[in-house]
């Protein structure tokens, strides 16, 4: 039996922070993945050996998730996939279909939500006091005592003093164990129904779930994405799998190493609200071989990190502990914890707690750029880099609306009103400091599970803050200066170098500095809402200096700061920009004895933030205080981030 901490997050505000919860494995324990007969599929009519960009969302919640259902979301997984494919559902319709998506409902309390929402599963449980509380039909004693209303009051029905409600699950938890397998099967069936196995290959759905551990009010979740329909018997949650290392071990033992054909990756949730915990190393107290084992398993299972989602961006932050190289003017983008104001302490080399409540320190390890540099340091120490990851974006929508990232059409993470989203107050409320989220993109030969998953595994993936910017990034020792003008540029990139996500081969004896080629195309948008023009491309370099500091260098390589701006009365963009940018850049400060990591950042011209769009839609006299609050940006610069390329001695 292992002690847990109930998270003091929006999930469990009704329970005191730090309350120890004992938690045990399911009885019987979850079964391993077993082989299944593959469903036949036609070859894709469109296949590109040089790979095409595909856009998707790998972080989506529906009414199957406790926090979404308790806040009024009724969208089913089937409806979420229909939305991603461009069909209208009660929650709305996306502006353009996605190429792929995964419903990642929280594994925690999946069975309890089903039992309390569906009378056909168990009429007796459905009628229980616990389920009535969850549905908002009666109030619990703890809600009365603490004067809880809304979501916290409803959650009190499902979360028992030992994690699960015995009234719902039974004294041996057997009812919930059985129901979890049923609900997991339904989630899998939804993914299967919407996977296009025809030659058109228009849409790919993935079997997936979210592992949602939030110790000490920090968010260190993982989205587990499976390569195919071969899956473990049930999803793993923090109620039965206490830590991320144990999650990785279960995925190895019950999926990857079962000889069933099962394969999986675990994508760390946007780390910006983790007080340094989401990407922390966490094993340095072990013997050296134990450290290497954990580092290798992490490298095997976590090839990507979620750079951007509804709760903000986690690329970088100015002024962090021992981060050298000057100010990066674009590091202030959608910083969730900046907007309430006040001084934020630095965790330095440690970790903290309380981020979900707006408390505690901020760590450089809350940011992908510095975690990449930490990975270089760790590889020097261990010979293994556990933080060799690429980037994706996603939404974390709890409305079942994957890919609903348009600033002009934002409807909130949960069901909410325009006035509720635009109300600031003395302490900024969650809502104004959130955003529509981002998208995941990959370069793949075709739109199939295998091709997209393989692209994610090799990190040939990139993140966007929402727009469908197409970004390409190659590293080499010998690319020609005229690469951008060459009709065979992409072929040369693959033949003479490596794409984003790769390791540059050992430096030839006659080579100088590495050469990087980067190109980007703007999002075309739609006829009604054209996409934004590109302003510039930058290449970001990171390394560990002899002083032990984390060094960064940001270089403009294509485009430039320009005169573009926005008419804040109409949200019409003004000024010059580019539909396409391209550059070849050689690192002038390259040190052949120093490991380094490089990635590209593509930046759009300024455009209206979602809050500006919604303020303009209201009569001026009736606009909430958030429309006038100087802490709320009027404009943003949308962007894309390529996965890195690593250069080692």
pLDDT digits (tens, 9 = 90+) for 78-88: 999 999 999 99
pLDDT at residue 338, rounded to an integer:
74
- Residue 273: is its pLDDT beyond 50? yes
Q: Which two tokens stand for residue 609?
A: 């933030």
**Sign of the C-alpha dihedral, residues 550, 476, 489, 562?**
positive
Cβ of 22: how many Cβ atoms within 10 Å? 11
The answer to whether 564 touches 577, Cβ cutoff 8 Å, is yes
Largest CA-CA distance found in the chain, in angstroms, rounded: 77
Q: Are 143 and 153 in contact (CB under 8 A)?
A: yes
User: Where are the chain's structural domains?
Assistant: 468-647
Q: How far apart are CA 647 and CA 502, in angstroms?
A: 9
- For residue 559, the cross-strand partners are 536
4: tokens are 């847990």
At 94 the pLDDT is: 98
What are the tens digits of pLDDT across the range 595-640?
Answer: 999 999 999 999 999 999 999 999 999 999 999 999 899 999 999 9
Percent above pLDDT 70 for the chain: 95
Residues 382 and 295 sit within 8 Å (Cβ to Cβ): yes
Whether the Cβ atoms of residue 594 and residue 547 lie closer than 8 Å to each other: no
- DSSP, collapsed to helix, strand or coil, labels residue 553 as strand
Residue indicated by tokens 């009885």: 27
Tens digits of residue pLDDT in 168-211: 999 999 999 999 999 999 999 999 999 999 999 999 999 999 99
Q: What is the pLDDT of residue 21?
A: 53
pLDDT digits (tens, 9 = 90+) for 10-58: 334 433 333 345 567 899 999 999 999 989 999 999 999 999 999 999 9
**pLDDT value at residue 341:** 47
User: 3-class SS at 567?
Assistant: strand
CA atoms within 13 A on the CB side of 540: 29
Q: What is the structure's pLDDT at 429?
A: 66
pLDDT of residue 86: 98
pLDDT at 544: 98
Q: Which tokens in the block code for residue 616?
A: 């303009």
Digit-coded pLDDT (tens) for 457-508: 999 999 999 999 999 999 999 999 999 999 999 999 999 999 999 999 999 9
- Enumerate the H helices of 17-104 as residue ranges: 66-70, 77-84
Element (H, E) at 492: helix 489-496
pLDDT of residue 574: 96
pLDDT of residue 145: 84
- Cα Rg, the chain, nearest whole Å: 24
| Angstrom distance (rounded) from CA 372 to CA 283 | 17
């Amino acid at each position: 039996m292992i002690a847990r901490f109930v998270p003091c997050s929006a999930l469990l505000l009704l329970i005191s922070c730090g309350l120890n919860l004992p938690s045990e494995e399911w009885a019987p324990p979850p079964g391993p993945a077993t082989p299944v007969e593959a469903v036949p599929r036609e070859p894709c009519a469109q296949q590109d050996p040089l790979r095409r960009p595909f856009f998707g969302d790998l972080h989506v919640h529906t009414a199957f998730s406790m926090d979404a259902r308790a806040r009024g979301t009724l969208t089913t997984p089937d409806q979420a996939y229909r939305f991603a494919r461009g069909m209208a559902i009660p929650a709305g319709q996306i502006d353009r279909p996605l190429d792929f998506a995964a419903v990642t409902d929280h594994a925690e309390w999946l069975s309890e939500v089903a039992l309390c929402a569906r009378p056909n599963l168990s009429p007796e449980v459905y009628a229980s006091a616990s389920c009535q509380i969850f549905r908002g039909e009666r109030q619990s004693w703890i809600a009365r005592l603490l004067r809880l209303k809304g979501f916290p009051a409803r959650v009190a029905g499902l979360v028992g003093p030992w994690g699960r409600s015995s009234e719902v699950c039974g004294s041996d938890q057997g009812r919930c164990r059985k129901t979890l397998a049923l609900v997991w099967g339904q989630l899998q069936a939804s993914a299967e129904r919407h996977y296009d196995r025809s030659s058109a290959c228009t849409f790919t759905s993935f079997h997936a779930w979210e592992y949602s551990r939030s110790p000490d009010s920090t968010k260190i979740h993982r989205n587990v994405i499976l390569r195919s329909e071969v899956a473990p018997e049930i999803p793993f949650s923090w109620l039965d799998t206490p830590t991320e290392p144990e999650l990785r071990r279960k995925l190895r033992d019950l999926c990857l190493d079962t000889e069933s054909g099962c394969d999986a990756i675990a994508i760390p949730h946007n780390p910006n609200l983790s007080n340094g915990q989401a990407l922390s190393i966490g094993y340095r107290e072990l013997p050296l071989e134990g450290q290497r084992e954990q580092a290798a398993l992490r490298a095997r299972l976590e090839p990507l990190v979620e750079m951007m989602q509804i709760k903000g961006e986690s690329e970088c932050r100015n002024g962090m502990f021992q981060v050298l190289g000057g100010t990066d003017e674009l590091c202030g983008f959608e910083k969730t914890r900046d907007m309430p104001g006040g001084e934020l302490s630095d965790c330095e080399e440690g970790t903290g707690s309380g981020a979900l409540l707006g408390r505690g320190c901020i760590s450089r390890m809350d940011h992908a750029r510095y975690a990449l540099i930490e990975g270089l340091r760790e590889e020097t120490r261990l010979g293994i880099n556990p933080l060799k990851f690429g980037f994706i974006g996603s939404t974390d929508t709890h409305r079942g609306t994957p890919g609903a990232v348009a600033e002009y059409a934002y409807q909130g993470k949960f069901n909410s009103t325009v006035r509720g989203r635009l109300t600031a107050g003395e302490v900024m409320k969650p809502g104004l400091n959130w955003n529509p989220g981002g998208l995941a993109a990959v370069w793949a030969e075709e739109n199939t599970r295998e091709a997209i998953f393989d692209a994610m595994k090799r990190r040939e993936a990139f993140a966007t803050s929402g727009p469908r910017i197409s970004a390409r990034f190659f590293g080499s020792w010998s690319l020609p200066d005229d690469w951008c003008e060459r009709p065979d540029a992409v072929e040369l990139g693959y033949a003479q170098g490596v794409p984003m996500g790769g390791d540059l081969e050992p430096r030839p004896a006659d080579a100088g500095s590495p050469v990087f080629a980067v190109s980007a195309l703007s999002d075309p948008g739609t006829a009604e809402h054209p996409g934004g023009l590109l302003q510039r491309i930058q290449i970001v370099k990171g390394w560990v200096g002899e002083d032990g500091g984390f060094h960064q260098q940001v270089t403009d390589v294509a485009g430039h700061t320009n005169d573009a701006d926005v008419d804040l009365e109409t949200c019409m963009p003004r000024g010059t920009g580019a539909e396409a940018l391209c550059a070849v850049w050689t690192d002038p400060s390259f040190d052949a004895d120093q490991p380094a990591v490089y990635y590209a950042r593509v930046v759009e011209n300024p455009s209206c933030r979602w809050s500006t769009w919604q303020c303009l839609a209201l009569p001026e006299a009736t606009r909430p205080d958030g429309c006038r609050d100087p802490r709320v940006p009027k404009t943003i610069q949308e962007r894309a981030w390529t996965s890195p390329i690593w250069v080692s001695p």
